[in-house]
Structure 1
């Protein structure tokens, strides 16, 4: 970035949002966002956020339909994208260099921008099968969603922590794996994403599936093994034909930006998302924006906030401690 452009962007940090948007319109900006595959929530949310940014701040956003959370972290690390959507538990692994997908390398070239909504592990099996509880998945063949997605990264580890080892955990596109489930070539699917994932909602509408829940001790075991994972509930009204709420594990879906993202840009993007929190989830029926009470930040997470995003979050009334901000 040219020195003159940096100076303009720096000056914009103190300006009101409307003024910043006007100044941004004079600067050609094109950002790439890592989202996800069709059938997942990130592909829907990412485009809604990008379109809102284009409208409010004239920031042009293109999209990379990656596998999901882990793939998006890698895109940002490689400077192939400046923005991404991830599940916090995956972001925690990246920052700490945990999980087999990181190969022990600490991936710290990204920063948190803002919370989006809850995400959860959504496991379902044909109603005709004998799979009713989590332990029934032992020795079975399960689909975990796209390679590089949160399901592919977290589902096998969560099940292993609960003492359950499927025979195979196969990666693949959401729709293809649901078709394989219909044909009996998979025993169950275990997808992790925004609650509920569009593909899971569509499968539930067709009927013939049972949602598989976690027992309390299984939730505790998974949470102990995977930082950023906690108890979650898939509400009765979240999915068609669901007769009762189902206990599972979950994490927060968040937006990330490259550490090198100018503070003004991170601020405008965060402000846009916070001002349109509900609208951006409109095309994801059953989901809802993150709860932003006094304890909204997971202080156990090592992932810091982008300074520009922190300014915008504070302007929205959310407390972001200085210790959790890193340039």
Structure 2
């Protein structure tokens, strides 16, 4: 009986020792962090960039499992973050500003929303038929002008630019049209000009220019200054000559910026790691879409319309930005 007890104790000690060796040899398992990234429509720019971003996070941030979903873009994405349905989202910086300030389409401020980086310019292009006589913003008075879908970011851009020039919707014949609708109406002569907010070049404008002579209307220095005084999200932009058929000279205008926003309650350490992974793998973003090549640390806070998340702010401080 004594021998059996001694054997049992020895056996238990041996098993415990073996388990200790196995546990020590097994790498620690990192708790998985699931992240949902909201983009836009599958035919747009946000969606392929979001796919690349998800790949970067999955490959370079230990424990992260990121998934990407197509959405209705900026306004829908703000609401999804506010409701906790997604963790990161692509949003225009003007829409983010309205959300934070309870302006335009947002009746109350969205609290749980902070910024990681601004990404690339979405240029406000005022395109007019060459035979319309429109050569300046002031010339839009009395004309038939497509100002974007009702309640859209483009419509807000159009209204603000017109106001900077002392023009209201009562001074023009405002038409609430999508990009595609505006393009077909321009082409057919049913409207004189249209506001389009999009990355360059914009397919809808290319289609019109292929069939009809167009001009791009400049936003002069005085209007740029007025806009920037009132709305911090506007940046100066230039549409290079040759971007569209028949438009040979550079044209100054303004732009809003696509940006990456994040839930404010995500941990600082996690957002730091996400920001670091993004900027250390920019070639993958450029590979996903031409506009991904516009991302840089030097411009990552240009036009930032939200409070920067502390995790992203820490990365910028460490890199001298």
The interval holding the TM-score normalised by the smaller chain is 0.7 to 0.9
SS in 2 for 1:154: helix
CA contact (8 A) 2:35 2:87 kept: no
**Aligned match of 1:175:** 180
Q: Of 108, 112, 122, which residue of structure 1 is paired with 2:111?
A: 108
After superposition, the C-alpha distances for 1:290-311 in whole angstroms (9 at most, x for unaligned) are: 5644x8645x966211122233
Give TM-score scaled by structure 2 length: 0.74
Q: CA RMSD in A?
A: 3.3
Unmatched tracts of structure 1, length 5 or more: 1-21, 320-327
Give TM-score scaled by structure 1 length: 0.73
Q: Of 61, 70, 95, which residue of structure 2 is paired with 1:64?
A: 70
Deviates more, 1:252-261 or 1:227-236: 227-236
**Aligned match of 1:79:** 84
- Cα deviation, residue 267, structure 1: 3.1
Count of residues in correspondence between the two structures? 289
- Cα deviation, residue 207, structure 1: 6.1
Seen in structure 2, the aligned counterparts of structure 1 residues 34 and 41 have a Cα distance that, compared at 3 Å, is: closer
**Aligned match of 2:306:** 303
After superposition, the C-alpha distances for 1:107-158 in whole angstroms (9 at most, x for unaligned) are: 2311101221223211212334333222222243433445665313322222
Determine whether 1:163 maps to 2:166: yes
- Cα deviation, residue 226, structure 1: 1.9
CA contact (8 A) 1:114 1:313 kept: no
Q: Of 274, 280, 289, which residue of structure 2 is paired with 1:275?
A: 280
**Segments of 4+ in structure 1 off by > 6 A?**
none
**Aligned match of 1:121:** 124
Distance in 1 (alpha carbons) for counterparts of 2:288 and 2:190: 31
Rg larger for: 2
After superposition, the C-alpha distances for 1:186-226 in whole angstroms (9 at most, x for unaligned) are: 43221223344454456556663322211222222222332
Determine whether 1:247 maps to 2:255: no
Seen in structure 2, the aligned counterparts of structure 1 residues 118 and 264 have a Cα distance that, compared at 3 Å, is: same
CA contact (8 A) 2:239 2:251 kept: yes
Seen in structure 2, the aligned counterparts of structure 1 residues 296 and 112 have a Cα distance that, compared at 3 Å, is: closer
**Aligned match of 1:132:** 135
**Aligned match of 2:145:** 142
Distance in 1 (alpha carbons) for counterparts of 2:243 and 2:287: 14
CA contact (8 A) 2:123 2:255 kept: yes
Seen in structure 2, the aligned counterparts of structure 1 residues 33 and 133 have a Cα distance that, compared at 3 Å, is: same
Q: Of 57, 70, 78, which residue of structure 2 is paired with 1:53?
A: 57
- Cα deviation, residue 31, structure 1: 0.5
Unmatched tracts of structure 2, length 5 or more: 1-27
Deviates more, 1:150-159 or 1:52-61: 52-61
SS in 2 for 1:100: coil
| Larger helix proportion of the pair | 2
**Aligned match of 2:93:** 88
**Aligned match of 2:294:** 289
CA contact (8 A) 1:95 1:303 kept: yes
